[in-house]
Amino acid sequence: MSAFSMSLLLRKAARPLGVAAALFTLCLTLLSAGSGPSSYLHGIDVSRYQQEVDWKHVKDSNINFAFIKATEGDFLKDPFFDRNWEQSRQQGIKRGAYHYYLPWVPVEKQIAHFLNTVSLQPGDLAPVLDVETYAEDIPDAHMRRDIRQWLSAVEEHYGVKPIIYTYQRFYDRKLRGHFPNHHFWIARYQNVEPSTHPSDKMAFWQYSEKGTVSGIDAPVDVNWFYGDLEDLSAHCVPAALPSREVIAQFK
């Protein structure tokens, strides 16, 4: 039985006794301490709010992957991105970069900003589009069209299908059922797993924004990946295929 299945059974069984939250929190605590099965991986996401991260200590804390903020809108580059990007690689932590989407900024400029900032290597995690900002004067259909344009352009550039990050309420109101071809990374706290539309696929759960990880002197977002290392590789930039010229040399 998976750790998440076990936790859900504990929660349901304990509900009549009024201790469901305590049991579920205990289960998550045990998992984050490294006692969970290998089929679920623990990771973090960081930005300037974590300041200077000691990635050596992060690696020693059973962290398998890290998403790192790269860009926002068409102008902002996270001041710690270059440092986090290189030092996470040096420690062998599987890394991914994300872009914070602003719905009032032309999507073409946001695409160019991300592509000009982030250079991915084979084995890096797929790019992430962070979609969580409301703009009341922009129709939902327009926003979703821009999101699709970002996802399509970024996939074409890097050769891997991007991931969509959001939180449960925004997902329910704006995104639910509209992106069946992409995996979601959803934030939902209070010890409750995210819920998704039957046609949608979820790969990552951000279960807290108040995690404590060695090497980081501030609260940090903590996440589970629904799978093992082999499953995680399906969300990574593939190894480059040899060019036709190289293949021709061996014929």
Any catalytic annotation for residue 155?
A: no
From the centroid of its chain, how far is CA 246?
Answer: 35
Burial (CB < 10 A; 0-12, 13-18, 19+), residue 250, is exposed
Residue type for position 173: R
CA-to-CA dists, residue 158 to 57, 120, 121, 128, angstroms: 30, 7, 9, 12
Q: How far is residue 85's CA from residue 119's CA, in Å, rounded to a whole number?
A: 10
Cross-strand bridge partners of residue 165? 130, 185
User: Token pair for residue 81?
Assistant: 């991105």
Q: How many residues make up the chain in this entry? A: 251
Any catalytic annotation for residue 245?
A: no
Q: Which of 132, 155, 172, 228 is flagged as catalytic? A: 132
- Are 199 and 215 in contact by the 8 Å Cβ rule? The answer is no
Cross-strand bridge partners of residue 66? 44, 95
Burial (CB < 10 A; 0-12, 13-18, 19+), residue 199, is exposed
Q: Which of 45, 72, 124, 221 is flagged as catalytic? A: 45
Of 131, 124, 57, the residue nearest 91 (C-alpha): 57
Residues annotated as catalytic (active site), given as ranges: 45, 132
